[in-house]
Amino acid sequence: MPTVSAFVDALLEILVVAALGFGIYLTAAHYAKRRWLQRYGLRTIGVVVRLETDTSDFEAGYYPVVRFEPLGHALLEARYAIGNRPAAYTCGETVLILYDPNQPTRFVIGDAPGQGWAWLLAVGLVGAILTYCLHLVN
């Protein structure tokens, strides 16, 4: 009969794998969005007007709010979906914006294709370390 300890270990392993899978999904989704915008999106210059924090995050990051003018639309101010700690941008900084011409609030900052893979590597490494540590405990 399985012990409570074996059940807890199995549950922890499932949680680690689920968290790893979710992290990979988020990274892949952002990478796909960036690739789509590089291929079909429009480019413009924007300005970081402020940095916002989200206290609901595990570790609050700084989310840039940018102002830019999409072609055929009024001046737009929108919060970027990716936050960083420490802040990756400063107020008043000029940034390249890639946006969806049909939905300008769907945008990314910059044109660097490799950003998402760094997160994928980090998430994978943390998941592998946690899984290894769980196996050491057994």
- Contacts with 24 (C-beta within 8 Å, 6 or more apart), sequence order: 120, 123, 124
Task: Work out the percent of the chain whose per-residue pLDDT is above 70.
Answer: 75
Taking 90 as the threshold, does the pLDDT of residue 78 lie above it? yes
pLDDT tier at 82, thresholds 50, 70, 90:
confident
Tell me the per-residue pLDDT of 62-75, one tens digit each, with 9 for 90 and over. 899 999 999 989 99
Q: Residue 68 belongs to what domain range?
A: 4-137
pLDDT tier at 111, thresholds 50, 70, 90:
low
4 vs 119, more confident:
4
Q: Per-residue pLDDT averaged across 5-16, rounded?
A: 78
Domains in the chain, number = 1
Q: What's the start-to-end Cα distance of the chain, in Å?
A: 16
pLDDT tier at 84, thresholds 50, 70, 90:
confident
Q: How far apart are CA 3 and CA 78, in angstroms?
A: 52
Question: What is the per-residue pLDDT for 11?
Answer: 80
Question: What is the per-residue pLDDT for 47?
Answer: 97
Question: What is the per-residue pLDDT for 121?
Answer: 63
